[in-house]
Amino acid sequence: MFAAPVPRRRVLVGAAAGALLLAVAAVGIRTMDADSPSPAGATASHASPQTVAPGSSTGPTRDPANRRTVRLVAAGDVLIHPAVTEQARRDAARAGGMDFAPMFAGVAPAVRGADLALCHLETPLADPAGPFAGYPSFNAPPQVLDGLRATGFDGCSTASNHTLDQGADGVARTIRALDAAGLRHTGSARSAAEAARPRIYQVGDVRVAHLAYSLNFNGLSRPPGQPWLANLIDPPAILAAAHKARAAGADIVVLSLHWGTEYQHLPDADQRAWAQQLISSPDVDLILGHHAHAVQPFQRFGDKWVVFGMGNELARHEEPINDNREGVMARATFTETAPGRWTVTRMEALPTWTDLAPALRLVDLTAALADPGTPPGLRGDYRAACRRVLGYVRALGAGADQVVASGG
Ligand SMILES: [Zn+2]
């Protein structure tokens, strides 16, 4: 199993305001893990810091004007279809194993280079030995988490239309696996207490809250009395949670929304209405969208951004088409433009593409096109995919100077 440590950054993770009182560690990536691995109903009383991986200290990042900055990278759906699992088996060093890391290796430089990297885990996870299932009721191998961690992700949103595919057991199993892999999570929970604690990452001396909600659960309902099991989009509840995160000390509040109409490149009426309402709140700094299996625009609202849809990060649909092979990662640089005020001063789009043969591989298109080692036979397809993705990203008026095409 590929299990390289993540050689960067200064991310601490907390899930409770009390944990934020802890001093920033001088070296390495640490977590303040108030809920891991707690059983259902546990409280946030055991909030002691815990080193999860060795790393090098970079200290607080400052821009040339000596302002503090945080560089966030976010990705679209990680959707583990059976063909993705088959590729992980083929990539494993030993028979019977699975290694998902090679599939993500193309985007690892971009992910590792961020101060904070967030993915979207669309499906519940099974036990390591299975049984596994694909669409419509997913149950994916938890081994994918080792791949995400090795790629450099710090945490994932877990609220999606598939969150309840395997019931409450699936939710609990997924969260246990994330905790065990050293990945943080938000969007589903094992208890009311767990759901009530805002997920807060400590990035150097900056606190970033991450909240996540889904538009539906594919017709499934949360059991009576357990609305905390998975977060459903409900603007008043989202705004209350964002306010609570801010009150808990978050400098920056990031909201992940699983929303939209599948295979549509433009936001639907619900997305537009929710975006306007939520991004207008002083408690929401950035919205990151996914679900549509197609790239959607990055749109500016005042001095904030809504990323309507990042498409798939990694998936292998039964019918691979350009839409579901294309994706985009968003890279947002937050700068403290006035004391305590954080603004996205640079927004970048990192177009991606999934190669299907000879192996399933996620490609960072800008980086691949800049690499002289990329075979000439692939360049035409990569250039065309890159152009399409940037077209979707900028379809609602963002200029090339506003959403900068990047890679690596
Ligand atoms: Zn979805």
Has residue 57 got a pLDDT over 80? Answer: no
What pLDDT does residue 233 have?
98
Q: How far is CA 386 from the centre of its chain?
A: 21
Mean pLDDT of 318-332: 97
For each of the domains in the chain, give its residue range(s) and CATH number, in order of start.
11-405 (3.60.21.10)
154 to 31, 111, 340: CA distances (angstroms): 10, 9, 24
3-state secondary structure of 1: coil
Distance 241 CA to ligand 1 centre (A): 22
Distance 177 CA to ligand 1 centre (A): 20
Per-residue confidence at 8, pLDDT binned at 50, 70, 90?
Answer: low
Distance 105 CA to ligand 1 centre (A): 23
Q: What 8-state DSSP symbol labels residue 241?
A: H
What pLDDT does residue 12 have?
67
The two structure tokens encoding residue 6: 């993540």
The two structure tokens encoding residue 8: 């960067």
Distance 346 CA to ligand 1 centre (A): 28
Distance 149 CA to ligand 1 centre (A): 22
Distance 254 CA to ligand 1 centre (A): 19
Has residue 99 got a pLDDT over 60? Answer: yes
Has residue 130 got a pLDDT over 70? Answer: yes
Has residue 363 got a pLDDT over 60? Answer: yes
User: What single-letter amino acid sits at 343?
Assistant: T
Q: What 8-state DSSP symbol labels residue 339?
A: T
User: What tens digit of pLDDT does each residue of 131-149 get?
Assistant: 999 999 999 999 999 999 9
Distance 261 CA to ligand 1 centre (A): 9
pTM for this prediction = 0.89
Distance 30 CA to ligand 1 centre (A): 31
User: What single-letter amino acid sits at 173?
Assistant: R
Distance 211 CA to ligand 1 centre (A): 17
Q: What is the CA radius of gyration of the chain?
A: 19
Distance 330 CA to ligand 1 centre (A): 18
Per-residue confidence at 248, pLDDT binned at 50, 70, 90?
Answer: very high
Distance 122 CA to ligand 1 centre (A): 6
Distance 223 CA to ligand 1 centre (A): 21
Length of the chain: 408
Distance 269 CA to ligand 1 centre (A): 17
User: What single-letter amino acid sits at 192?
Assistant: A
Has residue 17 got a pLDDT over 50? Answer: no
Distance 20 CA to ligand 1 centre (A): 33
C-beta of residue 402 within 8 angstroms of C-beta of residue 347:
yes
Q: What angle do CA 381, 384, 386 make, to 5 degrees?
A: 105
Q: Does a cis peptide bond (omega within 30 degrees of 0) precede residue 267?
A: no
What pLDDT does residue 247 have?
97
User: What tens digit of pLDDT does each residue of 364-408 get?
Assistant: 999 999 999 999 999 999 999 999 999 999 999 999 999 999 999
Distance 169 CA to ligand 1 centre (A): 20
User: What tens digit of pLDDT does each residue of 148-165 get?
Assistant: 999 999 999 999 999 999
Distance 385 CA to ligand 1 centre (A): 22
Q: What 8-state DSSP symbol labels residue 140?
A: B
The two structure tokens encoding residue 221: 């309902």
What pLDDT does residue 42 have?
32
Helices 235-247, 269-279: crossing angle, 10 deg rounding = 30
